[in-house]
Structure 1
């Protein structure tokens, strides 16, 4: 009796292959949705936990870095509307009507301090730089932008105690190109994975009075490459000290910037951004008849030293930068203030 024939079905098997194809399409979908995340599996798992009502644990939350604002989803410099100062001003005007604490620029006369006659001159706070650059005036501060370095060599603004309190939040802001700089600023992507922080010259924390003015501090014209441990360490400590002095003294004039010179290291994917080796602050207090000035010069590197060790005569910073600070002071007074030595300035500023 012949043995029965066994037939084997070859080719496409509907049920098994369909499951495999569905799984492959599912993986492709996951890749397309989460491929841009640095940790796609973690991002997917956190999404699942949120859907079923289980939020990420504290261990899952990255440590908050107060010096890093969210990066734009797209390169906003390629958006023509961002390049047009008129559109930018129009947007700011529209947004201002929705803000509860935007206010107007706070003037030094609101400090309550008695003012010298020379303080009342237009542009009293503005330094004079020997180098060519672009003068850019925002509501909260004025800066001198050096296009060849893509960094400002000075930023100047009055700092009053009233400006240090308010509801403005830096978490709402993003770094973005400055629409008032004609030749363009660095892009935020120029700093990505460079090893340097996007370091503020005029700190966001000095403008809590107004969300609009705080937002201005995130223009890339106000940003300079800083070593992370410097930016988050000694530089932050100096910014906090200046704010403490502004509260104590009711108001100060602040000029801060980078020391720029040829041959600096550069970073940047699209733009060559110079990395300063040093940063400075020059601070002036006026309350007639009292007046005092102090300068700080710091290397762009981590430090655990006391801030007092970074105090230098202001004329030393002038020689190094080619910038004349507070040129509208009477000449004799300017020479006296700018030539004071470290011990005298420390005694003037740190003694109370």
Structure 2
């Protein structure tokens, strides 16, 4: 015996508006197309929305997406190796000559006197912030920073620049900048492609974030003379943390002097397809604050490897960095005062710099 319902199931229909699955898919596709058109054909916002949507509904990111996580220290690759080679011969691309009148640009590197700090007489000497320069040194000057280039390593062993509070803010953006050879280096720098699939980041010595007030000066930080091989988790981790701390100090102290670089020595491992680029085992930063009569100095020495330790653990006497590198920092400071500043121990420097 079969049960016969009192109403016909064939005539039953759910009341209200109901979208079929295919209709939802079509609406979603039209929404993505509209998003694509809204952003002028740029795919990045659409991809970002898609990743957010997948996370919202629980799909998550694919493994390939996870390995390609956004890295703010990885600027776009050059369009062609030939273009990079042209730059190496001193030819500049149109993008290098553009935006001389960009709104974010400041006309000329600001004077350290504009910090409002009272300067010592020795600060007023020409090239005060540069380490000792010897005959035969290749000194490369850019608008925002100066460096000493070591051709045998294809790296700079120091980069020096003053950092004022307002230089760390502005609308300059690194996302469209490209790494490029430095046309001012006599025998040429490494090519950006020398780092491709090497396992190392193109690590900045003078960071782009220290020049946010000028797009033109930020662009200079992408010259390969300012770039050196850094382990990815080091570059994006403890090194980035140190860069951010120094910018915070520049704001707090209204201006500081920065000298940063790699510890270069014979026998270092190398990378590179067309150029042998040495991979430093250590990096350093030496920071100086002057506001007469107050003066203080601090040094950091870090291995080219990731670390979860406090930055205080990497504070070392500047004397130690000088011994490792053979560099004489701030030689125009009177000898007695220089020796006193450079010989201070970790505890004293941490107390001076981190306590407020």
Deviation for aligned residue 1:215: 0.3
In 1: Cα distance, 2:298 partner to 2:254 partner: 17
Indicate conservation of the 8 Å contact 2:171/2:212, yes or no.
Answer: yes
1:272 aligns with 2:243: no
Which residue of 94, 102, 107 corresponds with 2:105?
102
Deviation for aligned residue 1:63: 2.9
Residue 294 of structure 2 corresponds to: 290
Indicate conservation of the 8 Å contact 2:88/2:188, yes or no.
Answer: no
1:73 aligns with 2:94: no
| Structure 1 residues 111 and 216: CA distance shift in structure 2, 3 A | same
Residue 124 of structure 1 corresponds to: 128
Number of residue pairs matched by the alignment: 302
1:220 aligns with 2:220: no
1:300 aligns with 2:307: no
| Structure 1 residues 311 and 131: CA distance shift in structure 2, 3 A | farther
Question: For each residue in 1:2-41, what CA deviation from the matched residue of structure 2 results, as whole angstroms up to 9, or x when unmatched?
Answer: xxxxxxxxxxxxxxxxxxxxxxxxxxxxxxxxxxxxxxxx
Residues 1-352 of structure 1: matches in 2 within 5 Å? 55-56=46-47, 57-58=50-51, 59=61, 63-75=69-81, 76-79=83-86, 83-84=89-90, 95-97=99-101, 99-103=102-106, 104-128=108-132, 132-352=136-356
In 2: Cα distance, 1:49 partner to 1:269 partner: 44
| Structure 1 residues 252 and 269: CA distance shift in structure 2, 3 A | same
Q: What secondary structure is seen at the aligned counterpart in 2 of 1:235? A: helix
Q: What secondary structure is seen at the aligned counterpart in 2 of 1:63? A: coil
Residue 57 of structure 2 corresponds to: none
Q: What secondary structure is seen at the aligned counterpart in 2 of 1:96? A: coil
In 2: Cα distance, 1:269 partner to 1:131 partner: 31
Deviation for aligned residue 1:91: 7.0
Indicate conservation of the 8 Å contact 1:133/1:147, yes or no.
Answer: no
Question: For each residue in 1:242-297, what CA deviation from the matched residue of structure 2 results, as whole angstroms up to 9, or x when unmatched?
Answer: 00000000000000000000000000000000000000000000000000000000
| Structure 1 residues 131 and 261: CA distance shift in structure 2, 3 A | farther
Q: What secondary structure is seen at the aligned counterpart in 1 of 2:149? A: strand
Question: For each residue in 1:89-118, what CA deviation from the matched residue of structure 2 results, as whole angstroms up to 9, or x when unmatched?
Answer: x97565312x01211211101101011110
Structure 2 alignment gaps of length 5 or more: 1-29, 37-45, 52-60
Indicate conservation of the 8 Å contact 1:153/1:260, yes or no.
Answer: yes
Indicate conservation of the 8 Å contact 2:203/2:228, yes or no.
Answer: yes
In 1: Cα distance, 2:350 partner to 2:124 partner: 28
Q: What secondary structure is seen at the aligned counterpart in 2 of 1:162? A: helix
In 1: Cα distance, 2:95 partner to 2:271 partner: 31
Deviation for aligned residue 1:160: 0.3
- Runs of 4+ with >2 A deviation: 48-56, 59-63, 81-85, 90-95, 129-133
In 1: Cα distance, 2:70 partner to 2:135 partner: 39
| Structure 1 residues 52 and 313: CA distance shift in structure 2, 3 A | closer
Structure 1 alignment gaps of length 5 or more: 1-47
